[in-house]
Structure 1
Amino acid sequence: MTERTFVSQSSGPVILGLSLPVGSIRVQVVDGLPTARVVLSTGDTTGPAADAVNRASSRQDGQALGIEVPEMPGNVTMQGRRSNMVFGSVTGVTMINGRVVSGGGTVPTVSMITATVHLPAGSSLGVVSTSADARTFGYLDRVEFRSVSGDLDADGVRHLTASTTSGDISAGCVTQEVTARTVSGDISIDLYNGRTAELNTTSGDVVMQATNHASGPVRAHSVSGDVRVSGSRHLNVSAHSVSGRVRTR
């Protein structure tokens, strides 16, 4: 196993920016926690995943803490994520069950890179990834998420901005603003108590439940997916789908 730990040099809430190309991110907000802590780990002791963890860098400017995990060179098969996906350039190769069998040799199999994050209350989070999933527990001030195929599952957040290509975006509770965009993923907001919402997808579904305390405009659009906005009769709602079903109430 390879593991590295990064601890914030300042006490109290931080603005954490985490760049993890591939892997899994788990964030826990802890009341009373004095400093932020990020643990990067992989089950490998050698190889591309271990090298990526060892070469991870950090920087801090005041309350802003940045951690960057470099990309793994070449092609790798990562265990434990979506049936052993192959990452890297795979042009001209033949794959069977997630392994390269011709056209470039055997692709090494690596263990998952996991980022385990503990943040003080009042912190914010920014994630940039190619295919890393992120899940947060507890209430965050702001969450910004950018990924190609990674999923985001946020527990509670005041201000949420998220964009993916094929990943899903979901939040348990949004209390201020949400902007979510995806191409083929779904968007779901369990409890919306905010002031403005913009939810856009091409082929995914959009589902949102507004509370009585929500206000302002809600725009929920899809091309071929279904759109359902509940608890929204007191809101200014623009809901549209070209070929999917639209329901507002």
Structure 2
Amino acid sequence: MATTRTLTAATTGATTVDLSLLGASGRVDVQAVPGLATAEITISTTDDTGEAADAVTGADLFWDPRGALVARVQGQGAGGGTTTIVTRSGRTITMQGVGTVYGSVTGMVIDGDLIIVGGRVVGGRGATLVQGPAPVVVTARVPEGSSVIGRTQAADLTTTGRLTAVAATTQSGDVSVTTAHTFVDQVTATTQSGDVSVGTASTVSARTQSGDVVLERAVTAEVHTMSGDIRASWLGASADLQTMSGDIRARAANPGAVTAGSMSGDVTVTVTASPDAPAGAPDTHAMAMTGRVSIPR
């Protein structure tokens, strides 16, 4: 069983989708479809009852007469995950899992025999599993040239295809703007601990606290992080890349103006000559307080 709601835009052609997924686990996925005439939003979960189903049925889903298709989903908390209750020697320990942990973990204590398959706790002596709500998925299919406004807490936000603008705000969710053989005019992304990944864009503005930022190709870019790394495969006209303790690795076109700075991380800027630009190194300014700096000379 599942719970699903769908709404189609009142007009044809490129439009704006305004999507919020707060207080519930899940994801937001926007697809710009070539040849599609009318935008459509679907909110769904595999649960037919419970918190996730209530979040879907209680969501605001409407067409704004000013020209936007709006979906606002509000859950009751962080949502999702699995609760594991382990009883050992008269003690009961409750562990809540709400996502995937990457890298090393400090301070974790495993008391007793647990069985883990594919990263999921599936059993063990004295262990009881209580499954949390299913994820809520917000999917928008839009004509090419549409714009996206997205807000999430822990949910990831992904866009695919040719869009005019993407404005994404998350707490711990990742932001991924995939363009393949097309591009996005403008990307604005703000996260606390989520990563930001952008394919090809004319203008990128990204800010994170502990998340990494990866740019494949950007004409102009402004990227600021606290402890996250910055990676840029191709920078065109200008870029301002700043981080406190992360590393910066960027490749600049000719000509171009790149300013890169890190307090304690390493800064590396290299050059990729553009066939339609005059020869010469880009105007590069790089600074690091305690890290290494490498720039074209």
TM range (shorter): 0.7 to 0.9
From 225, 235, 241, the equivalent of 2:256 is: 235
Cα displacement string for residues 146-188 of structure 1 (whole angstroms, at most 9, x for unaligned residues): 010010110131100000000000011112x111000000001
- Whichever of the two has the greater Rg, that structure is 2
Q: Confirm or deny that 1:24 pairs with 2:47.
A: no
> 1:75 Cα shift?
6.3
Q: Deviations over 1:191-221 (max 9, x none)?
A: 12x2x3110111110011225xx21x31001
Partner of 1:184: 210
Q: Which amino acid aligns with 2:149?
A: G
Specify the code of the residue in structure 2 equivalent to 1:56. A
* Cα pair 1:44 1:111 within 8 Å, conserved: yes
Mapping of residues 1-249 of structure 1, within 5 Å: 1-21=2-22, 22-59=25-62, 60-72=64-76, 76=79, 78-79=80-81, 84=82, 95-98=94-97, 109-156=132-179, 157-175=184-202, 177-192=203-218, 194=219, 196-210=220-234, 214-215=236-237, 217-249=238-270
The number of aligned residues is 224
Alpha carbons of structure 1 residues 26 and 75: separation in structure 2 relative to 1, 3 Å = closer
**Which whole-Å CA distance do the structure 2 matches of 1:75 and 1:243 have between them?**
34
For the aligned residues, what is the CA RMSD? 2.1
Once residues 94 and 196 of structure 2 are traced to their aligned partners in structure 1, the CA distance between those partners, rounded to angstroms, is 29
Normalised to the residue count of structure 2, the TM-score between the two structures is 0.71
Q: Secondary structure at the match of 1:243?
A: coil
Deviation at 1:62, TM superposition (A): 3.4
Work out the percentage of aligned pairs sharing the same amino acid.
35
**Does structure 1 conserve the Cα–Cα contact (< 8 Å) formed by 2:252 and 2:258?**
no
Conserved in 1, the CA contact under 8 Å of 2:232 and 2:250? yes
**CA separation in 2, counterparts of 1:146 and 1:191?**
21
Q: 1:107: how far off?
A: 7.9
Contact 1:232 / 1:248 at 8 angstroms: preserved in 2? no
Secondary structure of 2:55's partner? helix
Which consecutive aligned stretches of 4+ in structure 1 deviate over 4 angstroms post-superposition? none
Partner Cα separation in structure 2 for residue 144 and residue 180 of structure 1: 10
The normalised TM-score by structure 1 is 0.84
User: Any stretches of 5+ residues in structure 2 without a counterpart?
Assistant: 84-92, 99-128, 271-297
What is the DSSP-based 3-state SS (H/G/I as helix, E as strand, rest coil) of the residue aligned with 1:231?
strand
